[in-house]
Structure 1
Amino acid sequence: MAADPSTSPGTRAVLDDIDARPGSTASLLRTLIGVYLRPLGGWISTADLVALAGDLGIPPAQARTGVTRLKQKGLLLAERTEAIGYRLAPDAVGMLERGDRRIFEMREMTDADDWCLVSFSIPESERRTRHQLRRRLQWIGAGIVSPALWICPGHLQDEVLEILDDLDARRWATLFRASAPVPPGSLVEAAAQWWDLAALRTEHLAFQESLTGLPTEPFAAYVRLIDSWRVLPYTDPGLPPSMLPADWPGRRSFDEFARLSAALAEPAWEHVRALTRREAPSSP
């Protein structure tokens, strides 16, 4: 799905990061760049980037086309130093840092944690903004209590404020911090109404299934692991156990990701360093 052309470049980067289908060329290249370009000093030669993409099974011509599209989307800037290459666009750094916090610091709520309630009333003349707000609240894992009242973990309040500011919708929204909700039925029933838990379950099971097909080579395995996982920490709000079915698969997903990430990260990084050592400049 293409990003809304009326949004700012920063917004497009955020939306595309969620929209890119895991396992696709666009998604794998974005994951590769997001994980490794900053540790490499923010720059990589075109030849090395294409070579690393090849290690992920992406043919050279397809990789070059994909990189060009990422440049058009504002993630990369063409820059020649000792060789032709790409530098990470400054506007993309904040998006990648937010992604790091989600991907590598997945938070699960407890019953003692606060909630953030988002109440908004956007005029009909701004229905496009209302549509974008609802889409982006869903993308950060917010649930729908009613069309104009959304709920998310309290630690996501700053992200909600960023979305409101980015859409110039702050004047139409009020945020509340709240303790545990008291619905008419059980918390499990309420959670199933506010979030699409059936879809989330399917995502978790698909992620777990993807682990059986990881490559044996650590670099390719690590990038594909991150790529398969990276959407889940956005769409899954990390609800407390009291709001989830007893057989909820989320805990297994979290544990498997943590285990495999810890085992693969260093050998994957060694592979990248060995391949790029000749041309990657020092950190500015």
Structure 2
Amino acid sequence: MTSSVLDDIDARPGSTTSLLRTLIGLYLRPLGGTISSGGLVGLAEDLGIPAARARTAITRLKKHGLLLAASGGYALNPAALPMLERGDRRIFAVRTMRAGDEWMLVSATIPETRRDLRHQLRRRLQFLGAGAVSAGLWILPGHLETEAEELLDELGARGFATLFSTADPRPAQPLAQAVTAWWDLEALRAEHEQFLASAAGLDLSAPFAAYVRLIDSWRVLPYIDPGLPSELLPADWPGTRSVATFTRLSERLAADALAHVRATAR
């Protein structure tokens, strides 16, 4: 993967660019990696995106490296495959920690001359689901170890970081209280509630559009929510409802949505 390829962190759900990025990520691989110009614009129109606006967004996605020009249309950039595969694992295989699971600590000391790298690392670790214990010290679920290593390598920050594993972090206050300082749980709650509201408003009689919008509104959540153990979260935490809602609707809509794409994309 190259850093120029548009990642989930760079396209917030609901925008034209985001919807097309979701459409491309879902369907170009099943279609063999290519799609005609008319086919892509036609599917965008099925999402309610006017053709002119769709073409502008497609140009933007080409610039970001997600698409390449191909004869009569577009091809998926091979450099985007690792990003899309990582997204598949996060979006469709949500993992939640249990009591006793391992945590990972990332301690990074970035030189003052590399403030750009410091900013990028902080931003990307937050998107990975990490919580900030203190300046330069991050905590995240142990099952994200590989993704954390890949991120450090990708940014060229591995030489500035030390990684630790522990099953028993011991902050000065109770762990359930500490996580409210390490993560912005209220912001995460708002993201879950926004997803639930979006899901409730889907028109299920149009499976293709509903499914793409479902994935588009969901795809950021499995990144930024680390899936903390339930005993560390408020009793009314909406994350459980979000996962159940996504799973139910995805199972209902996915097959019909793919059938629509295969029948209409040329």
Fold shared by both chains (TM-score > 0.5): yes
Residues paired across the two proteins, number: 265
Partner of 1:118: 106
TM-superposed CA distance for 1:205, in Å, is 0.5
Q: Normalised by the size of structure 2, how large is the TM-score?
A: 0.97
TM-superposed CA distance for 1:121, in Å, is 1.0
Partner of 1:101: 89
Aligned-pair identity in percent equals: 63
Is the 1:34–1:96 contact (alpha carbons within 8 Å) kept by the matching residues of 2? Answer: yes
Q: Which range is displaced more, 153-162 or 255-264?
A: 153-162
- AA paired with 1:158? T
Summarize deviations over 1:17-47 as a string: whole Å, max 9, x none. Answer: 2231211100000000000000100000010
Q: Give the distance between the partners of 1:71 and 1:19, measured in 2 at CA.
A: 14
Is the 1:111–1:180 contact (alpha carbons within 8 Å) kept by the matching residues of 2? Answer: no
Is the 1:143–1:151 contact (alpha carbons within 8 Å) kept by the matching residues of 2? Answer: yes
Q: Give the distance between the partners of 1:249 and 1:140, measured in 2 at CA.
A: 20
Aligned pairs for 1:90-239 within 5 A: 90-215=78-203, 216-239=205-228
5+ long unaligned stretches in structure 1: 1-8, 280-284
Q: Give the distance between the partners of 1:244 and 1:19, measured in 2 at CA.
A: 28
Partner of 2:43: 52
Is the 1:114–1:153 contact (alpha carbons within 8 Å) kept by the matching residues of 2? Answer: yes
Q: Which range is displaced more, 164-173 or 180-189?
A: 180-189
Is the 1:187–1:242 contact (alpha carbons within 8 Å) kept by the matching residues of 2? Answer: no
Instruction: Answer yes or no: is 1:253 the counterpart of 2:245.
Output: no
Q: Which of residues 19, 30, 35 in structure 1 aligns to 2:10? A: 19
SS at match of 1:174: strand
- AA paired with 2:10? D
- AA paired with 2:36? S
SS at match of 1:152: strand
TM-superposed CA distance for 1:187, in Å, is 1.9
Q: Which range is displaced more, 101-110 or 174-183?
A: 174-183
- AA paired with 1:149? L
TM-superposed CA distance for 1:258, in Å, is 0.3
Instruction: Answer yes or no: is 1:263 the counterpart of 2:257.
Output: no
- AA paired with 2:229? P
Q: Which of residues 19, 22, 27 in structure 2 aligns to 1:28? A: 19
- AA paired with 1:236? D
Q: Which range is displaced more, 179-188 or 158-167?
A: 179-188
Is the 1:219–1:271 contact (alpha carbons within 8 Å) kept by the matching residues of 2? Answer: yes
TM-superposed CA distance for 1:64, in Å, is 0.8
- AA paired with 1:266? A
5+ long unaligned stretches in structure 2: none
SS at match of 1:150: strand
